[in-house]
Chain A
Amino acid sequence: MDATAVQAVFQDKIEQDLKIEPKDPMPDRYRAHLIRQISQHAHSEVIGMQPEGNWITRAPSLRAKQILLAKIQDEGGHGLYLYSTAETLGISREEMIEQLQTGKAKYSNIFNYPALTWADIGAIGWLVDGAAIVNQVALQRTSYGPYARAMFRICKEESFHQRQGYEIMANMMKGTTEQREMAQDAMNRWWWPALMMFGPHDKDSAHSGDAFKWRIKRKTNDELRQKFIDKTVQQAEVIGLTIPDPDLKWNETKQGYDHGEINWEEFKRVINGNGPCNKQRMEHHIRYHEEGAWVREAAAAYHEKFPTD
């Protein structure tokens, strides 16, 4: 099939709102766009294990430790699942990891912030997973079949994570003065980066044209951010946390909150590699990947010698 025919068949399916499946004809740019997006999503799950992993050995109760371990394990599982989803588009996990480690592929900027106190584990679950859910629920209707199905499976677990994170915050807000301060401090540090997870304002957003045309994306950055803010502000109020935005106010006409200016300078700085943890995250990933090389080699050599085992 030549490029024009591919385009025609593909566009027809998109128009009818049918899912594109791995063997279906698709334009190269659609494929490339998806590989970029899905691998970035997979890398985010994996890199996100680092800030939360930072607290596993210090979790304050056996229950908290189990919940956190299970959560991080879920995230790793999401990573695996998304790597396989990207593999259906003709790229291997090794290639994706190489792209991550050479800086060609990105991961979510949010994980370039540090998890400093136990309350950060609450804030990450509640705000970061909470923001991720808003994005991912929208992606359940994305045009690429395997990606849409991955989102269905993943969203169920993410909403668990969000509730567990919220529970940590709620418990701390019912606790001692020190605990309440810790929770508010985490809120102050994670709120704005969480809003940045939705990306630039619609008016400044690059690449989104194609994503809409191909129905990879169906809601704009600002629409999704609004959704997140509206549900989260109420949750914060219930447990007595203050949103660190003096300009935040209810807008009766739009039936949603208006928020203050997001610091896009910071956003750009962190995306360009100068966040608090960019170097640390990447060095960690590379270090343990390299330290594990002999294990992967051993497994491959063993498999070669004993293919049936």
Chain B
Amino acid sequence: MTLQEALFNYLLRLGDNALIQGHRLSEWCSKAPVLEEDLALTNMALDQIGAAQAFLKYAGAIENKGRSEDDLAYKRAERQFFNNLMTELPIGDFSFTIAKQLLLSSFEFFLFRGLSQSKDQTIANIAAKTLKEVHYHLAHSRDWCFRLGKGTEVSHEKLQNSVNALWMYTDELFEMGEADEVLMEAGIVFSLKEIKPKWLELVSGILDDANIALPNVDYMQTGSRKGIHTEHLGHLLSEMQFLQRAYPDASW
């Protein structure tokens, strides 16, 4: 794998994570438990779509085949997406979205803090900007974990179930592939293994404060580094890409 290929692949991963998570968050529009949360969730969706745009644009530039961020978002098929499986899972109830956001934002916190030091200046810049947004996403999901975890019996049970259901998707966040190795050599990225213990410490601290037990699972899901996804991604893409696919000659 050349450096260029590795960088393209890694940028797709970053862009796809933001794109798919942003898409899922945007599904909350007009469905949140209170109007304030409707705004908060769509605001996070906006941040994510903005990050997706930046990463995919850069991916297109690195690939150097004339593909724009929109081409990459709207004209690739399921097997060409590299987002972590967790991001594509359907939004579920509010506790599921909050638990998912906590697990992802705490990961992104360490990820973008690390990448903001990248030798690749474009990545460092996007990461630094994204990191600021992640602080807010993390605080938002942490506060809701406290409210749900310690609010009522019902909310506690729902949050615990959601954390349990999501846990098997957490290992994948830290998986290292060939692209990571190549880019590490070049000082562009760092080892995700390094941040795993820090992530676990942060997450378990928050969950503990929320009276939520750390799940014990015997199998961790994997696949996205190879473009192997859950069944959910295909449906998401068929909806997201509908206009671009139905009117290939149109620009909007």
Contacts and interface: CB of A to CB of B under 8 A. Distances in A.
Interface of A: 46, 49-50, 53, 56-66, 69-70, 72-73, 76-77, 79-80, 83, 118, 168, 171-172, 175-176, 178-179, 284, 288, 291-302, 305-306, 309
A77 B39 CA distance: 7
B50 interface: yes
A88 B49 CA distance: 37
Given A118-B252, A306-B150, 18 more contacts: A53-B30, A56-B26, A58-B242, A60-B250, A62-B69, A72-B29, A76-B38, A179-B247, A288-B32, A291-B33, A292-B94, A293-B33, A294-B152, A295-B33, A298-B148, A298-B151, A302-B147, A302-B151
Contact of B33 (A49, A58, A63, A296): A296
A56 B154 contact: no
Given A56-B26, A118-B243, A299-B151, A292 B69 contact: no
B49 A69 contact: yes
User: Binding site of A, secondary structure by majority: helix, strand, loop or mixed?
Assistant: helix
Contacts of B70: 61-63
B252 A61 contact: yes
Contacts of B240: 57-58
Nearest to B236: A57
B39 to A, nearest CB: 5
Given A176-B249, A298-B155, A60 B244 contact: yes
B174 interface: no
B42 A301 contact: no
Contacts of A306: 150
A62 B52 contact: yes
A64 B249 contact: no
B173 interface: no
Nearest to B41: A73
A176 B148 CA distance: 50
A201 to B, nearest CB: 33
A175 B251 contact: yes
Contacts of B50: 66
B252 A302 contact: no
B93 A49 contact: no
A144 B52 CA distance: 44
Nearest to B93: A291
A56 B240 CA distance: 9
Contacts of A168: 252
B239 interface: yes
B34 A292 contact: yes
B31 interface: yes
A109 to B, nearest CB: 18
B35 interface: yes
Given A288-B31, A294-B154, A69 B23 contact: no
Contacts of A118: 243, 252
Contacts of A70: 46
A168 B252 CA distance: 7
28 contacts: A46-B35, A53-B30, A57-B27, A58-B240, A61-B70, A62-B56, A69-B42, A69-B45, A72-B42, A73-B39, A73-B42, A76-B35, A76-B38, A83-B35, A175-B250, A175-B251, A176-B249, A179-B250, A292-B33, A292-B94, A295-B155, A297-B151, A297-B154, A298-B151, A300-B151, A302-B150, A302-B151, A305-B150
B165 to A, nearest CB: 17
Given A73-B42, A294-B152, A306-B150, A49 B29 contact: yes
